[in-house]
Amino acid sequence: MTVTQVPQVGHTGGLAQRYARALYDLASEQGNLSDVLGEVKALRAAIADSDDLRKFLADARMDIRQGRTVSNVLMSKLGFGDVLRRFVGVIADNRRLPDLASILDGVLALDSALRGEVVAEVRSAQPLTDTQRSQLQARLAEAGYSRVSMTEHTDAALLGGMTVRIGSTLFDTSIAGRLTRLQNAMKGAA
């Protein structure tokens, strides 16, 4: 395993953070923050699990009316409440649907930070099982990260293993990372 310090260029940039803060503040003001956070987690999981949904959100050819209509139908079908439904409608109206996953990650990261938790971004070649998730939590606790919330992403380019980013620290146990380190070592030996 390699641990490196890398600059924080998180997937939740300034734009995503502003939208995330707006949703978090709106839910707090209306007194249904816990419900909205649950819906945000469910929507984030739906995006992570569905290739078709990710392709739909990334489609830059979609016009505003089409994006709004499809997102309204999707939000109603998934049974999400009015706050999240209206918020995703605003995202669609502003042509920011490709940023929706980052915005949702930003909401969860903001909530974790306000509760004193550290966010760990986990990228793995295959979705984590419950056993792997609990083992990872235990390993992170051993490394001094006792209050950790994880955001999970699947990245087939890793070939196997995983990467875990906590702030500017990157733990890399992926096969792709190992191959890169081996390639660099071989260049140095030549």
Per-residue pLDDT tens digits for 110-126? 888 888 788 888 999 99
Q: Please say if the pLDDT value at position 97 is more than 60.
A: yes
**How far, in Å, CA of 75 to CA of 88, rounded?**
8
Structure tokens at 160: 């196997």
User: Smallest Cα–Cα separation from 98: which of 50, 56, 144?
Assistant: 56
User: Smallest Cα–Cα separation from 132: which of 167, 168, 164, 176?
Assistant: 164
**How far, in Å, CA of 4 to CA of 170, rounded?**
5
Strand pairing of 162-166 and 169-172? antiparallel
Structure tokens at 112: 């974790």
Give the pLDDT confidence score for residue 40 in this predicted structure: 92
Q: Please say if the pLDDT value at position 54 is more than 70.
A: yes
Per-residue pLDDT tens digits for 13-37? 588 889 999 999 999 999 889 999 9
Amino acid at position 27, single letter: A
